[in-house]
Amino acid sequence: MTFSEENYLKAIYHLTSHSNSGVSTNAIAEMMETKASSVTDMLKKLSDKDFVNYKKYQGVSLTESGKLEAKMIVRKHRLWEVFLVEKLDFSWDEVHEIAEQLEHIKSEKLINKLDDFLGNPTEDPHGDPIPDAKGRIIAIEKQLLSELVPHQSGVCVGVKDTSSAFLKYLDKQEIALGSTIDFISKETFDLSLKIKVDGKELTISNKIASNLFVKLL
């Protein structure tokens, strides 16, 4: 399995994880920042290897083996992110790029030992679940802060956007995983939210709220 094949599987996995229907060539091309023609070429290759179900012009989906492969790459990515944050003291906005490289290291023994070394974490630094060695995922119920109604409270458990810009914004506002968030009121004009973060009042835009996952208290 080449790096490129692994990256395509991962992209298809992420695109199909929420809407579990087939995914389009263009959607993959956009996510991978490549051209549709390149995607078509790769889909044929992945189809020959039985990692995807592909019929011309009809979108693509992962086979069971393709899904497992994808989950193992995601597992590696997220475990390495935990390592970088917990052991090497990286901040959560710096780890994604490095994990993009580390996720391609091939050694089952390595990743399982790393898993143990980290204490078998179930979530990565961004609150995303880490598949176990068999591909099982423990999904916690969480919802977007933007979907709450005033006077509800929750704990911040994840971010939807994991861009460095967004994560740095959260650092600046002192919003972190584990922060208690009380939803006070919503402004009807721009849908911005007045909230309390660990007791401290703050106003955030709806865009921010729709990228923050909370678990209701």
Contact positions toward its own copies, by CB under 8 A? Answer: 84, 87-90, 94, 97-98, 101-102, 105-107, 109-110, 113-114, 117
Among 67, 71, 76, 96, binds Mn ion (CB under 5 A): 96
* Residue 135 burial by Cβ neighbours in a 10 Å radius (0-12, 13-18, 19+): middle
Part of the chain binding Mn ion (CB under 5 A), chosen from 52-60, 91-99, 106-114, 142-150: 91-99
| DSSP 8-state assignment for residue 57 | T
Nearer to DNA, 58 or 101 (CB): 58
Nearer to its own copies, 93 or 182 (CB): 93
Nearer to Mn ion, 75 or 126 (CB): 126
Q: Enumerate residues 121-180 that contact Mn ion by CB under 5 A.
A: 124, 126, 128
User: What are the Cα distances from residue 161, in Å, to 101, 166, 174, 189?
Assistant: 20, 7, 17, 24
Residue indicated by tokens 């994560």:
167
Tokens of 74: 């995601």
Does 61 help bind DNA (rule: CB under 7 A)?
no
Contact predicate 13/67, CB 8 Å: yes
List, edge to edge, every strand of the sheet that includes 153-159. 143-144, 212-216, 153-159, 180-186, 193-197, 200-204
Nearer to Mn ion, 127 or 154 (CB): 127
Name 164's Cβ contacts closer than 8 Å, sequence gap at least 6.
93, 94, 96
Nearer to its own copies, 90 or 166 (CB): 90
Among 12, 43, 156, 195, binds DNA (CB under 7 A): 43
Among 18, 56, 106, 109, binds DNA (CB under 7 A): 56
Does 100 help bind DNA (rule: CB under 7 A)?
no
Choose the contact partner of 185 out of DNA, Mn ion, its own copies, none; CB within 5 to 8 A by kind. none
What is the rounded distance in angstroms from the CA atom of residue 104 to the CA atom of residue 76?
A: 8
What is the rounded distance in angstroms from the CA atom of residue 129 to the CA atom of residue 106?
A: 21
Beta bridge mates, 200: 197
Choose the contact partner of 4 out of Mn ion, DNA, its own copies, none; CB within 5 to 8 A by kind. DNA
- Which residues here bind Mn ion, judged by CB under 5 A? 81, 96, 124, 126, 128
- Which residues here bind DNA, judged by CB under 7 A? 2-5, 7, 24-27, 34-45, 54, 56-59
